[in-house]
Amino acid sequence: MARGRRRKLHLSKIYTFACGKPSVKENDQIGQPGFSRVVFCNEPDHYEAKIRNYADNYVSTTKYTLASFLPKSLFEQFRRVANFFFLVTGIMSFTDIAPYSAVSAILPLTIVIAATMVKEGVEDWQRKQQDIEVNNRNVKVHNGDGTFHDTEWRNLKVGDIVRVEKDQFFPADMLLLSSSYEDGACYVETMNLDGETNLKLKQALEATSSLSEDSDFQDFKAVIRCEDPNAHLYTFVGTMELEEQHCPLNPQQLLLRDSKLRNTDYIYGAVIFTGHDTKVIQNSTDAPSKRSKVEKKMDKLIYFLFFVLFVISFIGSVIFGIITKDDLQNGRMKRWYLRPDDTTVFYDPKGAPIAAILHFLTAVMLYAYLIPISLYVSIEIVKVLQSIFINQDIHMYDEETDKPARARTSNLNEELGQVDTILSDKTGTLTCNSMEFIKCSVAGTAYGRGITEVERAMAKRKGSPLANGVNGNDKTEDDKSGKSLVKGFNFKDERIMHGNWVNEPHADIIQGFFRLLAICHTAIPEVDEETGHVSYEAESPDEAAFVIAARELGFEFYKRTQTSISIHELDLVSGKKVERVYDLLNVLEFNSTRKRMSVIVRNQEGKLLLLCKGADSVMFERLDENSLDFEEDTRNHVNQYADAGLRTLILAYRELDEGEYVEFNKKFIEAKSSVSADREALIDEVTERMERNLVLIGATAVEDKLQHGVPDCIDKLAQAGIKIWVLTGDKMETAINIGFACSLLRQGMKQIIISLETPDIKALEKVEDKAVVTKASKECVLQQITTGKAQVTASSEAYALIIDGKSLAYALEDDLKNLFLELAIGCASVICCRSSPKQKALVTRLVKLGTGKTTLAIGDGANDVGMLQEADIGIGISGVEGMQAVMSSDVSIAQFQYLQRLLLVHGHWCYRRLSTMICYFFYKNIAFGVTLFLYEAHAAFSGQPAYNDWFMTFYNIFFTSLPPIALGVFDQDVSARFCLKFPLLYQEGVQNVLFNWRRILSWMFNGVYSAMIIFFFCIRALDSEAFDSAGKTVGREILGTTMYTCLIWVVNCQMALTINYFTLIQHIFIWGSIALWYLFLIAFGAMSPSISSTAYQLFVEALAPAPNFWFLTLFAVISALVPFYAYSALQMRFYPMYHGMIQWLRLEGQTDDPEYCNMVRQRSIRPQTVGVSARRVARTHR
């Protein structure tokens, strides 16, 4: 049955040349290891297919299943040393050596583990729901009788024939058989695979492209032999056996799962790979595991506390053993009331060593409260809430793109506050990656009067007035604003525009120039049927700028088929617009190795033309020696454009004769049809011979404007003491001028340039072999690095290091990389030009490992993924180049300018909050553990706990858990405005002043001191004195509860003294925790004595009526907190940290006093700092 009218060939909108014809060459790889897959099309239940047992199409991304959740999740939890330790002590609590009940020991561990497992379960359930939604999507599959029916994705099998409609996702990896276009082409969006938003063309084999109706598949049979499942998205090798024909298959016929059908009504395809065999799932590897430096140090602290725990347990056990042995000497009992002559093994003087060992185990269980069991859970809660605040920050929301900041992982929040070095991509990160055609050079004449942002910055740098036009007139107001009326086109020159180019001396060459721009591309034209306006969807912003420029200047590309390109152009003879159709014979595609693209076309006069555009580094060497009339002028213009920060391409052409083309086309088809592993190399070899002896036409120059706010952002980051490196693929001149425009470089800053573009090296490259050139190049780089290092060492001035890609390759070798890093660290800014994606990742690794400090990489394209994953923190810009960088990042933002708020505000806050919170956790647990130790020492290390079992259980869970979480989420030492006003505050995180060993140990000492004050105050105040009006003395239960009350007050009031910024939630949590203790004491005491034990009616009958209890609590709290308060007050008054200075400034109302603010701020301006402020300061000192 027909499924709709088939679209005619002439309605196709984009086609690159692709071979759909069978090849006579046999593929010798098929059937070999790695190429053994056999697919029986339209026979999914073929007996041989069943034997091969291919994977089904059900995809699961969950971490657990219903059966594995409990064991696997428990295993994950108990991999943590602290959790495993508490599990062991929990098991031991069921024995007689336990100092507390088993239930009270197991309950906190159960709550902590359960909370974490619930979180894991909820996250995995959300993944499960996504899997269910994907697996239950519907697709039409062939019944076997010429009809199709709907079925779920999960039911598909290898060999099924599937029909996919427009804007649907492909359910599996499929071979394209035919489409709604007669020639079997279709358009695919691969954003879910590689993040690229441009459409890709796919082309069915000619042998199957005629299968246009559902009924055509009733008797369709074919066998596909191809490669085994693998993760290579852009390669595919196979053959199709169809009616005794052997048709080679290549990536042009492969439709990948999770890509989307666009601009095509429907396609038919044969399922090749299903489920976890599909390429997208094969590529689904886990991102590198990243942990912050704070978290790593916290692990060391945990191990340190374990060491302390075992040491004090050992000391106590030794003393206990000695005392126990002395209890019975020659039949005389020293502590007769313990009846050492009739006791258990735990206190037997005759077996003192055994008793000491058993006591050691008891002590380990008792002092386990030194380890903060709820710390990990609390940190996870805090980090998730911090991430929510980052995501909801309206100041990092980009209204134009409707994209907020997104913390894709919460593990690295505090790491954002410790960044020492930023490694940034340029295009799309510092710049917009929104190209505008602004200048060009044709036949040796420069056209275009536009002024770029870099030129403005250069003019300011030189102190010269900026001309608005070539003749100094004021007509080009648009130049000042930098805005263009047409997106992608900002060209202004009356000699070219409005058809005036026909009056130029080289009008024929100008015509060829714009004709080449209109023909040599792979853009998709979209014609508005109502207005007739033509818009374009191109593979890159550069490509779009070229076809838009051609359209605006009279050469409108409006239609393309597989075999032709149609344009409206101005006829040089008649002066009228005419329609011209060019037969499109071949497209020689662009790649990063070729650095050029070409098309071969036949014009209406029958001439064969090769039109080529590419980078100057590969184009000038391909020019015909007899056609170099204006090469020198063009070179000069290209260099001038690079100086102005523009991206340039060289345009050239060549006329072909028929015989030459026929020979080329035969070899080209063979190379394209090849299914060997070196297919691309064969194609490059064929095209290399064709793209020679070109005739130069001219050069284009497009501007990639700086993103809004980039110079100010870099200025703030530089004032914060953060080093900024730029890693770009651009030419050195372009990168340097962009550096000046965004204030990475400034006038007067000395430049150390490391380059292999020297006369000696160039001469060697022409005459010597590769080994000699390599050795000489390496020696040259070493000499330049050594000289540069000597310059930096001998001077206190600011230096900038600029190195090109060739030199960088040698500088990153093992014997040079440390020397290179030393030089780079000594420079104020570093720019690496012509860098490959691999070099970006290697430089990032070098900085990360070489300095040992936190590195942040930021980029927007697929070529930045390695750098983002290698850095401690990867920031993805959700820009023009798709979402690949964002998908590989830890945090995504819409524009570079938001980086200053992300780091200087959220980074600083998160670092400070987490650091203080962790220190506080250890403080309160040490205070609790030391009171237990002191009481046990007071009780001759008998293993008797000072507190009721349930008091110990709920200490970390209820009475002290919420205030530190509130601190970790809400506390602010200074406001966001002051974080940005005084960027040096950020150095507190870079230098780690809030979480170094000195600060950690001081918090621990505070905990020990507080415990000693509480214990000795309570012991001395209550020892052998009447506690109430009845004259009763205190017992263990009253002493322990009084100590516990003092401890709850002290640790919660300590939190109140620590907080800088009170909110209602913090008040509720702090004072509510204290109130909860009293409510618990009353409620718990009202329970049966079998449950409350020593706490039965304790508060109501003993503590509340006794004035001593209330006075002792008051004096103990004041005495424990006074030292901390006094130290903090003295430090704040006489030796304030940087945040303290800002707090004083705010308190004294001097925030608007320019002189005082400048005095504070000047501490952040250092001689080697880059940025606008540094430039201003440097100018005042000249």
With beta carbons less than 8 A apart as the criterion, state whether 23 and 248 touch. Answer: yes
Question: How is residue 252 written in tokens?
Answer: 């042009």
Type of residue at 141: V
CA neighbours closer than 13 Å in the CB half-sphere of residue 544: 21
Rounded Cα–Cα distance for residues 868 and 886 (Å): 9
Question: How is residue 990 written in tokens?
Answer: 């870079």
Rounded Cα–Cα distance for residues 393 and 386 (Å): 11
Rounded Cα–Cα distance for residues 136 and 125 (Å): 16
With beta carbons less than 8 A apart as the criterion, state whether 593 and 684 touch. Answer: yes
The residue length of the chain stands at 1182
Type of residue at 958: F
Phi, psi (5° rounding) for residue 410?
Answer: -95, 0
With beta carbons less than 8 A apart as the criterion, state whether 919 and 1006 touch. Answer: no
358 Ramachandran zone, left/alpha/beta (phi>0; psi -120 to 50): alpha
**Which of these, 1038, 1039, 1022, 1021, lies nearest to 931 by C-alpha position?**
1039
Beta bridge partners of residue 751, listed in sequence order: 800
Rounded Cα–Cα distance for residues 235 and 252 (Å): 9
Handedness of CA 40, 41, 47, 50 (dihedral sign): positive
Helix 908-938 vs helix 997-1022: crossing angle, to nearest 10: 40
Rounded Cα–Cα distance for residues 981 and 1138 (Å): 13
With beta carbons less than 8 A apart as the criterion, state whether 340 and 332 touch. Answer: no
Neighbours of 915 (CB within 10 A): 26
Burial (0-12, 13-18, 19+ Cβ within 10 Å), 149: exposed
Beta bridge partners of residue 608, listed in sequence order: 602, 656
Phi, psi (5° rounding) for residue 699?
Answer: -145, 145
Beta bridge partners of residue 486, listed in sequence order: 489
Rounded Cα–Cα distance for residues 820 and 803 (Å): 10
Phi, psi (5° rounding) for residue 288?
Answer: -55, 140
Handedness of CA 846, 851, 855, 858 (dihedral sign): negative
Which single residue is written with the structure tokens 């191809």? 226
Instruction: Give whole-number Cα distances, 1133 to 829, 987, 1062, 1137, in Å.
Output: 37, 21, 21, 10
Rounded Cα–Cα distance for residues 955 and 105 (Å): 12
Instruction: Please give the DSSP secondary-structure letter assigned to residue 152.
Output: E
Rounded Cα–Cα distance for residues 238 and 37 (Å): 9
Instruction: Please give the DSSP secondary-structure letter assigned to residue 692.
Output: -
Type of residue at 1034: V
Phi, psi (5° rounding) for residue 760?
Answer: -65, -45
Instruction: Please give the DSSP secondary-structure letter assigned to residue 813.
Output: S
What b-and-e string marks burial along 226-237, b requiring 16 or more CB atoms within 10 Å of the CB?
bbebeeebeebb
Q: Which residues are catalytic?
A: 425
Say what the alpha-carbon torsion angle 637, 639, 643, 648 is, to the nearest 10 degrees: 80
Rounded Cα–Cα distance for residues 755 and 804 (Å): 6
Rounded Cα–Cα distance for residues 176 and 161 (Å): 10
Rounded Cα–Cα distance for residues 174 and 238 (Å): 13
